[in-house]
Amino acid sequence: MPTAVAAAGVGTAARAGVEVRLENLRRRYGGVTALDGLNLTMAPGELVALLGPSGCGKTTALRLVAGLEQADSGRVVVAGEDVTGQPTNKRDVGMVFQAYSLFPHMTAWQNVAFGLQMRKVDTARRRKRAGDMLELVGLSGFANRFAHQLSGGQQQRVALARALAIEPKVLLLDEPLSALDAKVRARLRGSPRSS
Amino acid sequence: MSRSRRLKLQVFRVIVFLVFGAFFLVPIGAMFEFSTRGNTDTAPRTLSAWQTIFQTPDLVAAILASLALAVITSAGMLVLLVPTMIWVRLRLPRLNRVVEFLCLLPLTIPAIVLVAGLAPEYRWLSINVSESILTLAFVYLVLVLPYTYRTLHAGLAAIDVKTLSEAARSLGAGWATVMGRIIVPNMWSALLNAALLSVAVVLGEFTIANLLNYVNLQVAIALLGRANAGVSIAVAVASLMFAFILLVILSFFGRPRARVAQLEADTTLSWGQKT
Amino acid sequence: MTVAAKPLVETAARPLGGGRRFSLDWLGAVPFLAYVGVFLLLPTAIVVGGSFVGPNGLTLSNLTAMNKPFIVGAFVNSVVLSAGSAIIGAVLGAVLAYAVVTGNPDGVLRRLVTSACGVLAQFGGVTLAFAFIATIGFEGFITIWLKQHGINIYANGIWLFQLSGLLLVYTYFQIPLMVLVFLPALDGIRPQWREATESLGGATWHYWRYVAGPLLAPAFFGGLLLLFANSFSAYATAAALINQGSIIASLLIANTLTSEVGLAQPGLASALALVMVIVVAIVMVLYTVLQQRTARWLQ
């Protein structure tokens, strides 16, 4: 099974999808070239998977779209707007990390509601939306659990719910199933698409 | 991380290290400076204070006493603690928490409190057994328990004591052989670390010796400080350097690199944490 | 086959379970328990018991004798000194630990700082007192240098040998101690949490306010308590710096033990020691509770 990264310019229920364009992205780490002029256009609503052996630059591409890293050269254009210099928190990009990204001092629903809190959504609506999202990933009964009380697969589903809760323009999944065993992986693989 | 944030972070780190470095290094440098002063303001630098160390019989006696105490304490600690910890792990697991609690207890009982209770015991010891300063080793062994327990605990945790001993027993080894030839050889670095920590603690001990009226290294330095500040500060620097060398050896010897800080915290503090 | 295998398993299991040989196994722990009993538990018991014994048998007079102004004053000074040096040490130690943790985890700098902190956290007592006397004592080189430039740091009194002097000197071992206890907590903070915060729309301020702050709070306050206990029970540094008087509790205990007051009332020193050990024990229990919470969140 080759490692795979899925990047999706998703259309969520509330919004039409947007176009994501990567133009000639370059990124070097010391002597290692991770990306050497990547060009990629994702149509609105399109689901794109980046495949390749480890170290080929999949994660770097995603992190550039998210703004977690800066490209040496090239542009990232989302919905026609150049976001290359924008910080991550202004980009409206949802991201699910490989593992361990849940805040350990918050319960599952507090994690899911965190992005809405950043957007100043009031408490009642946060709670409602977080509940809906947890239901979507099949974890309604686990709202008050902390990360250390959840299995690896459950944690990743909460992380997915958290990324979906903010209805981002772009949803990025960086090997979200890599830390899980094959059985759980097979069960979870369908879920991104169904949203 | 954005470039401007990284730059800000680098500036912050450089300033922090410079300021803290100065705060911690200046007093040590000042001791060197002080110990090499001449007799008058205009006299040239001199090492006479350092040379005087070995011409001061009281001081030499105190240095030798402290070194002897360090050796006795380290050896006694190993003899008492290592077999107990292995035995408890193998045969008395329900006693594990008790041993841990007792080993960490000296951190909660300040030396100044301990000495109040030790005074009658040492009065009895000096009348019925010996007046020698080396009897301090009895209580120093207790003082080093918290520091050495954590180190030995980490050493034992790194090997599968139970499986190793079961394998050896199934091949016909007795308990003494299991400990001496199977387990101990697998935890040399932990034993060495524990011994070096004990040496460092004993060489720095002042409270108990002072209040029980024994003159060890630190008490001698304090007494001398009133008569000849230059010499006493020279000895203080020397003992500090010695402790530093010991602990640097310790931190470079047989430790997984990424966990150095954790182990430092464990071995030098271990304040009542549970695993 | 199954019939033969069953008793084999049982006989093999019995010696390992140890149920029958319980009493013999206990002998192995006797030397350690006896030793600790004589040199740790017995002295503690002597202190506790001695607090309630007077010339005429059991009494509470040792405890009631502690309401004298100089005794209350010494304990108040100890609390002020410990709280002050703990707050300063915890804040500055946390800053230094953060500077360390943002560097290369395998780098020389980090190794140097952690090793140095291991030494300096233990660096109390006579040597430390002398280091500060050599630096900012009457003949200290900073004092002399400043005097040559027209600044007299002792214009308002000889503060180095008073409570404010102790506050400065204690900082020297409190900061490294904080670095040692706080570094593991900082190491437990994962970069994903910051990235997740940002991807969910949080700015740097939000990250510190809602994620890193609450996560590190137990470790920070735990460190603060540890530093308090460390300072409260410290004796050697103060004894080397301050030749006479009993301005803090540990000096008072020592002076009561060795002075004529102590000879007249031997139970008083025990009672003072009992108060100290109770304070330290309460603080250490709270520290352990916070430490466990840190361990659960930050491994």
Render pLDDT for B34-82 as a digit per residue (tens, 0 to 9): 888 877 667 778 888 888 888 888 888 999 999 999 999 999 999 999 9
Render pLDDT for B97-138 as a digit per residue (tens, 0 to 9): 899 999 999 988 999 999 989 988 998 998 998 889 999 999
Which residues, in sequence order, are CB contacts of B71 under 8 Å at separation 6+?
Answer: B199
Q: Which of the residues C11, C21, C126 would you substitute to probe the B interface, choosing the one with the greatest number of B C-beta atoms within 10 Å?
A: C126
pLDDT for the residue A189: 60
pLDDT for the residue C138: 82
Chain A residues with CB-CB distance to C198 below 8 A: 67-68, 87-89
Confidence category of residue B263, pLDDT binned at 50, 70, 90: very low
Mean pLDDT across C102-107: 83
Query: In this prediction, does ipTM exceed 0.90?
Result: no
Check if the beta carbon of residue C155 is closer than 8 Å to that of residue C147: no
pLDDT for the residue C12: 41
Confidence category of residue B236, pLDDT binned at 50, 70, 90: confident
Q: Do B105 and C40 touch (CB under 8 A)?
A: yes
pLDDT for the residue B253: 62
Render pLDDT for C106-150 as a digit per residue (tens, 0 to 9): 888 888 888 888 878 877 788 899 899 889 888 888 888 888 888
Q: Which of the residue ranges A12-26, B197-211, C146-160 would you say has the lowest mean pLDDT? A: A12-26
Q: Which of the residue ranges B172-186, C178-192, C224-238, C266-280 would you say has the lowest mean pLDDT? A: B172-186
pLDDT for the residue A49: 85
Q: Is the pLDDT of residue C247 over 70?
A: yes
- Segments making up each domain of chain C, as ranges: 25-59, 71-298
Render pLDDT for C16-57 as a digit per residue (tens, 0 to 9): 444 455 567 788 889 999 999 999 999 999 999 988 887 777
Query: Neighbouring chains of C at 3+ CB pairs within 8 Å?
Result: A, B
CA distance linking residue B2 with residue B168, whole number of Å: 57
Q: Is A149 on the interface with C (CB under 8 A)?
A: no
pLDDT for the residue C22: 55
pLDDT for the residue C96: 96
Q: Which residue has the higher pLDDT, B197 or A181?
A: B197
Chain A residues with CB-CB distance to C195 below 8 A: 66, 68, 88, 95, 97, 101
Mean pLDDT across B240-269: 57
Chain C residues with CB-CB distance to B138 below 8 A: 39
Check if the beta carbon of residue A101 is closer than 8 Å to that of residue C200: no
Q: Is B5 on the interface with A (CB under 8 A)?
A: no
- Segments making up each domain of chain B, as ranges: 56-268
Mean pLDDT for chain C overall = 85
Render pLDDT for C260-272 as a digit per residue (tens, 0 to 9): 665 667 788 889 9
Of B23, B33, B91, the CB nearest to C25: B91
Q: Is A85 on the interface with C (CB under 8 A)?
A: no
Of B17, B108, B261, the CB nearest to C183: B261
Q: Is the pLDDT of residue B270 over 50?
A: no
Q: Do B33 and C254 touch (CB under 8 A)?
A: no
Q: Do A97 and C201 touch (CB under 8 A)?
A: no
Q: Which of the residues A70, A73, A91 would you substitute to probe the B interface, choosing the one with the greatest number of B C-beta atoms within 10 Å?
A: A70
CA distance linking residue C283 with residue C280, whole number of Å: 5
CA distance linking residue C172 with residue C164, whole number of Å: 13
Of A101, A115, A166, the CB nearest to C193: A101
| Portion 211-230 of C in contact with A at CB < 8 A | 211, 214-215
Chain C residues with CB-CB distance to B274 below 8 A: 288, 291-292
CATH class belonging to A4-194? alpha beta
Q: Is the pLDDT of residue B273 over 50?
A: no
Mean pLDDT across C194-223: 91
Query: Neighbouring chains of B at 3+ CB pairs within 8 Å?
Result: A, C
pLDDT along chain A (195 residues), means of 10: 46 62 88 87 84 83 87 88 86 83 90 90 91 90 90 89 89 77 61 47
Q: Which residue has the higher pLDDT, B260 or A72?
A: A72
CA distance linking residue C171 with residue C128, whole number of Å: 11
Q: Do C131 and B200 touch (CB under 8 A)?
A: no
Give the start-end residues of each E strand in A62-106. Answer: 73-78, 81-82, 93-96
Chain B residues with CB-CB distance to C232 below 8 A: 110
Q: Do B3 and A87 touch (CB under 8 A)?
A: no
What is the architecture, at CATH level 2, of domain C71-298?
A: Orthogonal Bundle (1.10)
Q: Do C253 and B112 touch (CB under 8 A)?
A: yes
Confidence category of residue C226, pLDDT binned at 50, 70, 90: very high
Mean pLDDT across B222-247: 82
**A55 burial type by CB count under 10 A (0-12 exposed, 13-18 middle, 19+ buried):** exposed
Q: Do B109 and C40 touch (CB under 8 A)?
A: yes
Helical spans, DSSP H, in chain B: 3-35, 48-52, 57-91, 96-104, 111-128, 136-157, 161-170, 175-177, 188-203, 207-211, 217-227, 229-252, 260-268
Q: Is the pLDDT of residue C76 over 90?
A: yes
Q: Is the pLDDT of residue C177 over 90?
A: yes
CA distance linking residue A115 with residue A93, whole number of Å: 11
Q: Is C294 on the interface with A (CB under 8 A)?
A: no
Q: Do C141 and B34 touch (CB under 8 A)?
A: yes
Within 10 A of C290 (CB to CB), how many other CB atoms are there? 19
Tokens representing C4? 């033969």
pLDDT for the residue A3: 45
Residue among A72, C5, A4, C46 nearest B122 (CA)? C46
Q: Is the pLDDT of residue B154 over 60?
A: yes
Q: Which of the residue ranges C82-96, C145-159, C231-245 would you say has the lowest mean pLDDT? A: C145-159
CB pairs under 8 A between B and C: 264
Q: Which residue has the higher pLDDT, B90 or C45?
A: C45
Mean pLDDT across C273-288: 92
- Decide which of 3.10.105.10, 3.40.640.10, 3.50.30.30, 1.10.3720.10 is the CATH code for B56-268: 1.10.3720.10
What phi and psi, each to the nearest 5 degrees, are found at residue B155?
Answer: -60, -40
pLDDT for the residue A183: 62
Check if the beta carbon of residue C173 is closer than 8 Å to that of residue C196: no
Q: Which of the residue ranges C37-46, C70-79, C122-131, C225-234 would you say has the lowest mean pLDDT? A: C122-131
